[in-house]
Each structure stands twice: as structure tokens, then as C-alpha cells.
């Protein structure tokens, strides 16, 4: 065996053997963090499905229950809605004017989590009924989710806008 290969094998073995309990704890902490992040992503993905189902049903109560008390919605071509009462009024008005949602899907672009906040960038697409015809749409959305103390993740900030159809 060549000396360089032998030194590489022995050196690698020494590094593995020299791993301290602190290194092992750090690896366990990283594994726990990655599991928690995966669980959070699954929860958020499920919440997007819940949001879509509530929007299809035009259920103001179901939508508003997903927002924090101090939420701010920043919709395209509308004024900001600050606080749960204003968010409720926004959705009641929007659903009264909105076409019938048939389907909507969200695709995660990027997520950043820091403590009890998760900033989620998504693309969305779907189909709605307008004047009796199916119309495709797509866009992008930025949502700041907040993990309520010993409770669910809720929407703290929500903004979206349309993208051109390709």
C-alpha cells in the first residue's frame, strides 16, 4: 500500500476516534434541528392545504383562524389589513367579489426559520371559475409564520402578487 493512502486511512481513523462528547452532542443537536425543521415544513405545507380548502369554501372564519391577532395582510392592489378584525373584513369583501376557486397549489421556493418565526417564499398556481369559464392563474407569496406558544403556527404577515402566465 502506498504511504499516502496509508497516512490518509490512519489520519481519518484518528479524527473519528478523537471525536469528543461535545462533537457527538453537536451532531445530535443538528439531527434534532433537522427533524424539527422537517416537521415544521410538513406543518406549514398542511396549513397551505387548509388555507386552500377554506378559500375554496369562501370560509372567512376558517381563513381568519389561521392568522395571529396582530397579523397584517398586504394584498395586491388593495390597502393593508392590520389586525384580525381588518383581516376578517378584507377576506369577507374579497370572497364576496372573488371568482370561485377550483384548485390552488403552493410550491416552496425557500424557507428561513429563526426561533418561532418562519419566512416562507412560495410560488402558487391554480384554476378559478370566472364568468363560467376556467381561468388559470399563478403568482408568488411571502408569508411570515409565527409559532404560537404551545400552539400552532399562524400567519403573522402575508403578501402576494400575480405572475404572468407563460
| Cell numbers given for 136 | 388559470
**Helix H or strand E encompassing 132:** none
Q: Which domain holds residue 30?
A: 3-162
Q: What is the chain's length?
A: 166
DSSP class of residue 131 equals T
Q: Look at residue 23 in the predicted model and tell me its pLDDT.
A: 53
CA dist 120 and 108 (Å) reads: 7
**CATH assignment of the domain containing 69:** 3.10.450.50
Domain count, the chain: 1
- Residue among 100, 90, 153, 160 nearest 131 (CA): 100
- Helix residue ranges per DSSP H, 59-161: 60-64, 84-97
pLDDT tens track of the chain, all 166 residues? 555 444 344 444 444 445 555 555 555 666 765 676 678 888 888 999 999 999 999 999 999 999 999 999 999 989 999 999 999 999 999 999 878 899 999 998 999 989 899 999 999 999 999 999 999 999 999 999 999 888 899 999 999 999 988 7
Beta carbons of 71 and 117 less than 8 angstroms apart:
no
Taking the CA of residue 140 as centre, how many other CA atoms within 13 Å lie in the half-sphere pointing to its CB? 7
Report the candidate in 107, 120, 115 with the shortest Cα–Cα distance to residue 155.
Answer: 120
Torsion sign, CA atoms 87, 61, 69, 156: negative
Collapse the DSSP code of 18 into the 3-class scheme (helix H, G, I; strand E, B; otherwise coil) and give the result. coil
Taking the CA of residue 129 as centre, how many other CA atoms within 13 Å lie in the half-sphere pointing to its CB?
A: 5
What is the reported pTM?
0.76
Amino acid at each position: 500500500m502506498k504511504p499516502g493512502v496509508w497516512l490518509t486511512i490512519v489520519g481519518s481513523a484518528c479524527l473519528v476516534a478523537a471525536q469528543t462528547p461535545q462533537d457527538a452532542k453537536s451532531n445530535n443537536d443538528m439531527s434534532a434541528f433537522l427533524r424539527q425543521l422537517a416537521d415544521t415544513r410538513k406543518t406549514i405545507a398542511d396549513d397551505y392545504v387548509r388555507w386552500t380548502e377554506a378559500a375554496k369554501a369562501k370560509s372567512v372564519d376558517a381563513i381568519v383562524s389561521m392568522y395571529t391577532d396582530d397579523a397584517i395582510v398586504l394584498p395586491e392592489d388593495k390597502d393593508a389589513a392590520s389586525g384580525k378584525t381588518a383581516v376578517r373584513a378584507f377576506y369577507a369583501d374579497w370572497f364576496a367579489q372573488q371568482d370561485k376557486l377550483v384548485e390552488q397549489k403552493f410550491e416552496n421556493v425557500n424557507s428561513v426559520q429563526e426561533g418561532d418565526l418562519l419566512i416562507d417564499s412560495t410560488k402558487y398556481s391554480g384554476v378559478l371559475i370566472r364568468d363560467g369559464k376556467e381561468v388559470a392563474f399563478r403568482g408568488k407569496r411571502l408569508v411570515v409564520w409565527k409559532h404560537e406558544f404551545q400552539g400552532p403556527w399562524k400567519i403573522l404577515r402575508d403578501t402576494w402578487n400575480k405572475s404572468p402566465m407563460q
